[in-house]
Structure 1
Amino acid sequence: MASGSGGPLLFDDLPPASSGDSGSLDASMSQTVKNEGKGAKRRAPEEENGSEELVEKKVCKASSVIFGLKGYVAERKGEREEMQDAHVILNDITEECRPPSSLITRVSYFAVFDGHGGIRASKFAAQNLHQNLIRKFPKGDVISVEKTVKRCLLDTFKHTDEEFLKQASSQKPAWKDGSTATCVLAVDNILYIANLGDSRAILCRFNEESQKHAALSLSKEHNPTQYEERMRIQKAGGNVRDGRVLGVLEVSRSIGDGQYKRCGVTSVPDIRRCQLTPNDRFILLACDGLFKVFTPEEAVNFILSCLEDEKIQSREGKPTVDARYEAACNRLANKAVQRGSADNVTVMVVRIGQ
């Protein structure tokens, strides 16, 4: 699994919907949970809590309308011998989470995992991360949904990684698999994006002033060449050679990769928060196999062209909108392979409906 070589389109401050839309949910806040700890298997207390840096916060307007979310996916093995990606689409897990009903109406979860060194870490994360999240999800009355959900996500990633590492180390020989994780947890109209590694989440938002759709990055890539990532690795006694941890691993945060955890590779995710607006069309989640050959803008425009393709009609009683989203995923995955992406390719598109 190679890291994306093109410069990522990263917005630390997601823009609000345009001021011309008086009914919009006019606030976006992105928040990063950073880890400056030693990266050892057992983290220091301050590291476990995660130091939270508030990037931007504005007063949020509540909306009585909860946007519907529905996921679609396509995956291609590409030139790899096996498919090491995994994904999860859970359009509605409200009942399983049993959230405090007075505060939360709907919970959804979407995730893409890009494995390396084998399929076991990505498969384990796909099977277990949302289960751990459901168990840890806030029950009863809470003072702050936002803080409680963030704490829940941090604990979920830590627990899932520890579970996998325990299983991996008990094997003979020990498993050396690792995986990225990019997860979108939707709590009513708020997205919480938690990610490790170089898979990415992109939001397609219509800008009323320019009358164009923008591709807004919801996630932050973790490559060992980045200053903060490299500093953490070096503090832990590791090093970065040829853009890789110890000259081998291309991501600086992951689930699994037990042999690199003592070198500063961590499972503490970046967590960002974004409020959905009536101008939002869809969320794209994809592994770096797509972004090696597509920029976020190109991918978003490709999907939009499919959604507007009147030749795509519904079949077998399926709504036309579903047929077009499915076609968009399949065509984009196919095009990535045609453009020469030798990696596994997973494309997930989450439709945002009103």
Structure 2
Amino acid sequence: MDVSVIIPTYNRLWCLPKAIESCRHTQCQTEIIVVDDGSSDGTWEWLQTQPDIISLRQDNWGKCWAVNRGFTFAQGKYIRFLDSDDWLCPEAIDRQFELTITQETDVVVGGYEVYSQEGTLLRQVYWNDCDDFVAQQLGECDSSHYSAYLFRREFLKDIPHRPDYAWRDDRLLIIEVAIANPKVAVYPQPTFCHRHHSQTRLQFQQGMTAVATNLQHLTLYKKCLSKLAARDQLTPRRRKASCKILWSLAHWIAYTHLHEACEVVDWIYQLDPDFQPPEPGLLGKLYTYLGFRHTENLLWLRRNILTLFGKRSNIKYHDFSV
């Protein structure tokens, strides 16, 4: 078997057939492994009507458990991961497989496309050439999406999806891949189609889940940067790349935990003493001259004032309409 495509799914029968169909009709030998994570919408019953698919079923433990289980069944020399609400571009598997066989690589990267819920193409993103794969994955520039990548299975055997980082598992996996120093080939054209839709997605969280997601994101950066530092591979360039992500993360953490967010900012300036807040205009000046804590307090006050007036406006409108 040349390529194994692993598709975890949970109550996605409305889009799963499109994802599966995009993996069929390849010239190379491709197996499609779908792991039903305890769906209740008829997914499992539908899968039984698809004879060319390896179907696995488990209780609702989550994506990481599903993907890791699919990996244990995979027979392909190369692996691709695909969410069930996305799909692949035509011939993506064959073109990337040809490239990795020719160049004997561990990873083949590629670009991606973004579609609206209605199926309208919003943008095409070709691969962004970068001469430091680690810095790229840490945040220096666009690194595409790991579903646009083809991985050598043997290379991934010690880099699983980690359930402790379930809401940032793909980001952690690809950073771990980069740190493992793979031989990379580039297929610059889009290979993967990402769908924006109103259904729940792992990357769009609210409430307590958002707090947990931020914590996981912060922790994975601490672990990965610590590993790079221990190898004397945490270069100034990689520090700066990380700070771009950590700065945005600090802002989101500040919504609920300002003190912890300020600790992240302190870490940013330890990593890069010359760091400058990237926000333009007045907001950038506030961060520069007032500091992170005071600026976030102002933003908190602004949000609450807008919320307060928004509620009052709704009450007045409701009263007049009655």
Q: Which has the larger radius of gyration?
A: 2
Please say whether Structure 1 and Structure 2 have the same fold, judged by a TM-score greater than 0.5.
no
Normalised by the shorter chain, which TM-score bucket?
A: under 0.3
Under a length normalisation based on structure 2, what TM-score does the superposition of the two structures give? 0.24
More helix by share: 2
